[in-house]
Structure 1
Amino acid sequence: MRGTPERQSPIFHTFNVEDLIEPDHPLRAIKRMVDRALSDMSRTFNAAYSDVGRPGVPPETLLKALLLQCLYTVRSERELCRRLKTDLLFRWFLDLQPSDEVFDHAVFSHNRERLAEHGITPKFFDTVVKQALALGLTSDEHFTVDGTLIQSHASLKSLKRIEREERRKDDDPPSGGRNASVDFKGEKRANATHRSTTDPEAKLYKKGDGVGAFLCHSAHALSENRHGLIVAVRVEEANGTAERVSALRMLDHAERRHGVRPWTLGADKGYDAGPFLVELEKRWIEPHIAIKSGRIDPMSERSDQGTWARWFVRQEQRKAGFRTSQRRRKLVEEFFGWVK
């Protein structure tokens, strides 16, 4: 027979949220790993918070909420808090009961400085990486490094001459509304002379010939080659050497924090530089790096140690291991695709 909708809602509901989550849901495995990592960070959390005062939103909840935002591509923290009000899956992941009140989105802004000051977010990342290494989910021999440009939210209109901006610091802000017109006609803009007033750390940089420069930051990642798991990340100032400098810093961090010493390192042609290859050899890392086209003459008068290193890597390109590294290094590009 035909059923009819129930017009009157019951006052109380009796159910277990755990029973509503599918047994094979991907978030179950993620939650177990994340909860284990956060429990290991209890001392770090204690150092970041006072012993007196009104209890705030647990840092574990904030970090797990930010993880949900990344996994489900929630566009803003405000939207994330809206979704927490109606999504039982999200509440279950954050250990919130259906009757619990959802915190305001401003909590993220209030705690962001605290998380950065005590290095909580990178420690959380390193703790998860440590678990993956202990479980044998990653390679401890073959790795890849890559970088990309992350465009700043700052507008090109925010660029001001550095000396002019220094003089204006003590003056009233210029009028003209939130989106005042700016005329750069006849004025050459460069990082040495101009700086963004809304994002001073962003630098003008262009990705290649025929592409206009834009304000951006340089993001870098070190990944293992078995599954493409990221073991180290850095964000640096965008310049011509950021990729290679960051690569060495991430390698040093991976060894210092996790005891990882790669046998091979794959990378694209952006890392083809003699001094960088020499530094890898000093670390006993075999460079599986794409070499730019052109003649390399290690016997010339201007030849140095870097020239010999580039010549040697080019000879290695014919080997199967080198080709495998170049093929597996594409995995790290998936990470940058998710970030963007």
Structure 2
Amino acid sequence: MLGPRQEAQAALFYEFSLEDHVPQDHLLRSIDRFVDLNSIRTHLAGFYSHTGRPSVDPELLIRMLLVGYCFGIRSERRLCEEVHLNLAYRWFCRLDLSDRVPDHSTFSKNRHGRFRDSELLRHLFETTVARCIAEGLVSGQRMAIDASLIEADANKQNSTPKDDWDAARIDPADAPRAVREYLDTLDEAAFGAASEVQPKFTSHSDPASQWTAARKGPAFFSYSDNYLIDTDHGVIVDVEATRSIRQAEVGSTKTMLKRAKARFDLHPERLIADTAYGTGPMLGWLVDRKIAPHIPVFDKSGRSDGTWTRAEFEWDAENDQYICPEGHELKQFRRNYSDPNRGPTGKGTARYRALKDVCQACPSKAKCCPNAEARKITREEHEDARQVARDIAKTRQYDISMKLRKKVEMLFAHLKRILGLGRLRLRGPCGANDEFLLAATAQNLRKLAKIFPAPQQTRKA
């Protein structure tokens, strides 16, 4: 029999509880157990006036932002609509059915003002990392580093070739916020000071973004999202926004390792990374700090003509010389200098040479230096650290480390596919930093929720 038509009827009284309508296995129930916002008001106290209208609760804004980044809601307008409609979102944000959702413009005003001035999002991220450490998810023994390109909110049509770009002509008073941030970061190692090479194009709307074709496809403007993770459970220990060039990405490694040591007293016994981080200065920096570099060496000493490479020459550290496969010596200096200005400086690149007469009479000259009178070998300042990395690469632990490095790549895949952060919505270095911090916070919270889900309660009949 066809049932009666369902019609909505007004009632004078309702007995309704959000707690009863949020599923026990909902992701937000597990995340809510690890969101600690008790220190936010104390952290922001100095950035609010003691007079005037009461402000929107900053804890509410942070909870709404966490909902947006945990569920890939990129637009703040849409976020307000979703929180207004979704009961689970209202429950997580501590909003009753009759409570009003803040306007989307409230986020922009707080983000550009007191949130950035107080570094609240950095504080929120580090609070989450501290919770991961307290739950035993971070040992700090093995860490991995990597960077991923995130497309900036800029396009080539609104850009200028490098020959026509002149930052000195920009008036900061009339420039947009992203342009002013670009001018403020010209001397920072993560942005303007990372390299003297200027990009082919500079965006008008976001000049700090980097024009790059690193993906071997069409070029685009981007920022680099740098992650330092603990490989035990893939927890993000630190995050940094930089230009999308190797120098800036490698330089951020030092910044994040120093910050992890200062904030959480974490000092890894090994650092895992790809070849881009295997430069001499980077390896030397790690070895000096007793961090084992599980990193492929960035080496261009190989030869394509089949002749002997530098790796086939034995290094004699005691006598400061190389020994060729035929047993001959290659020395940097063959006399003692009384004038210190003419002796070895210990800086830069050293060149080691064999005697011309020895090479000319050597039966293996065709395999060694067929087009030169004598063999020469250069040795970089940090060659000892490079050799340490080469020796580590021969161990079984190194093979394990290369498998663990994939955990960073998985986090970036999750960032783009699940959280939807394939393109930035905010502009400027501060905007990129804000988005990266919130996304990393959301990933750590989801990690905690996955490992420690909320206990299931039996619903009353």
Q: Which moved more, 1:160-169 or 1:302-311?
A: 160-169
TM-score, with structure 1 as normaliser: 0.86
Would you say 1:315 and 2:391 are equivalent positions?
yes
Residue 203 of structure 2 aligns to which amino acid in structure 1?
Answer: S
1:58 alignment counterpart: 57
Q: For the residues of structure 2 that align with 1:327 and 1:169, how far apart are their CA atoms?
A: 48
Mapped contact 2:246–2:276 kept (Cα < 8 A): no
**CA-CA distance at 1:202 after TM superposition:** 1.0
2:277 alignment counterpart: 271
TM-score, with structure 2 as normaliser: 0.65
1:32-47 paired onto structure 2 within 5 Å: 32-34=33-35, 36=36, 38-47=37-46
Would you say 1:135 and 2:129 are equivalent positions?
no
Q: Deviations over 1:170-216 (max 9, x none)?
A: 99xxxxxxxxxxxxxxxxxx8368532100211222206x5443221
Q: Of 376, 380, 390, which aligns to 1:304? A: 380
Mapped contact 1:191–1:203 kept (Cα < 8 A): no
**CA-CA distance at 1:32 after TM superposition:** 2.0
Would you say 1:162 and 2:165 are equivalent positions?
yes
Q: For the residues of structure 1 that align with 2:167 and 2:263, how far apart are their CA atoms?
A: 44
2:86 alignment counterpart: 87
Q: Of 225, 244, 260, which aligns to 1:219? A: 225
1:332 alignment counterpart: 408
1:269/1:164 Cα in 2 relative to 1: closer, same or farther (>3 Å)? closer
Mapped contact 1:296–1:311 kept (Cα < 8 A): no
Residue 149 of structure 2 aligns to which amino acid in structure 1?
Answer: L
1:164/1:264 Cα in 2 relative to 1: closer, same or farther (>3 Å)? closer
Q: Which has the larger radius of gyration?
A: 2
Mapped contact 2:40–2:59 kept (Cα < 8 A): no
**CA-CA distance at 1:335 after TM superposition:** 2.2
Q: Which moved more, 1:8-17 or 1:258-267?
A: 8-17
Q: Which moved more, 1:137-146 or 1:87-96?
A: 137-146
Q: For the residues of structure 2 that align with 1:329 and 1:214, how far apart are their CA atoms?
A: 27
Q: For the residues of structure 1 that align with 2:173 and 2:46, how far apart are their CA atoms?
A: 37
**CA-CA distance at 1:133 after TM superposition:** 0.7
- Identity across the alignment (%): 32
Q: Deviations over 1:81-128 (max 9, x none)?
A: 111111000000100001111111111111111211110000110011
Instruction: Point out where structure 2 has 5 or more consecutive residues left out of the alignment.
Output: 175-196, 303-308, 316-321, 323-351, 353-377, 416-420, 423-461
Instruction: Point out where structure 1 has 5 or more consecutive residues left out of the alignment.
Output: 172-189
Q: For the residues of structure 2 that align with 1:28 and 1:170, how far apart are their CA atoms?
A: 46
Q: For the residues of structure 2 that align with 1:44 and 1:229, how far apart are their CA atoms?
A: 24
Residue 235 of structure 1 aligns to which amino acid in structure 2?
Answer: A
**CA-CA distance at 1:167 after TM superposition:** 7.3
2:15 alignment counterpart: 14
Q: For the residues of structure 2 that align with 1:53 and 1:104, how far apart are their CA atoms?
A: 19
**CA-CA distance at 1:22 after TM superposition:** 2.5
How many residues of Structure 1 are paired with residues of Structure 2 in the alignment?
319
Would you say 1:72 and 2:78 are equivalent positions?
no
1:195 alignment counterpart: 202
Mapped contact 1:225–1:325 kept (Cα < 8 A): no
Q: What's the Cα RMSD here? A: 2.4
Would you say 1:244 and 2:245 are equivalent positions?
no
Higher RCO structure (Cα 8 Å, ≥6 apart)? 2
**CA-CA distance at 1:169 after TM superposition:** 8.9
